[in-house]
Structure 1
Amino acid sequence: PTGSTPWSQVPPSQSSVQTQFGDYTPCIQQGIHQSNCFQSDGAWNSPNLGSIQLEPQIQVWMNCEPADSDKTWVTDNRTNPVTTRSYRCSKTLAGYFPR
């Protein structure tokens, strides 16, 4: 029997993601870093390109918020206990990268 875990499986990436900081679909299609698709919206509290370039590459492309928030997902449910990993929402709001 499968016990209930507080975590869910890592979700699949979306094939297209747009945020206030640009269209990330080309980055998803080409498998390239989110900084290549980043466009600042010019607000004083917006992330800058340098801070985006410091992030690991997004692995799970999907709209997320707030920036820098963490989620824990199951990466392997065949282990006991299940294997989980923390992911962080990119400052681009376009998805999660492993912490």
Structure 2
Amino acid sequence: MTIADSRNSTDGHEGSMPLILSQRNTTRGHTGSLIVQQESLELADNQGYITLRRYFEHYDPTSGEWVEYSHTVPIRDLVHWLMAHGQLRIHSSQEVGTQAWQAAIPEERHP
């Protein structure tokens, strides 16, 4: 099968290869109809922007149609949004050092 969109997900749009978040292919009935859906993230060449792409294609033996939605945001804005809305977890070197130090101590064995 050939994809009607020559800009499919394996081609880099702006530079680096996209990170595919999800990809689904669904066959509809016995007509040979196929639906392709894909979501991917891509970092711009200058690493200043990230793009979320959502690609949909409907293919059947007589025709094929596709549509792609792309949402681009500056990395700086994405980081600020994550810091404002994301769940904060704090880890420190003291925790890691203590755990590693305790793992290195051999257990005392009592008869």
Normalised by the length of structure 1, the TM-score is 0.25
Relative contact order higher in (CA < 8 Å, ≥ 6 apart): 1
Normalised by the length of structure 2, the TM-score is 0.23
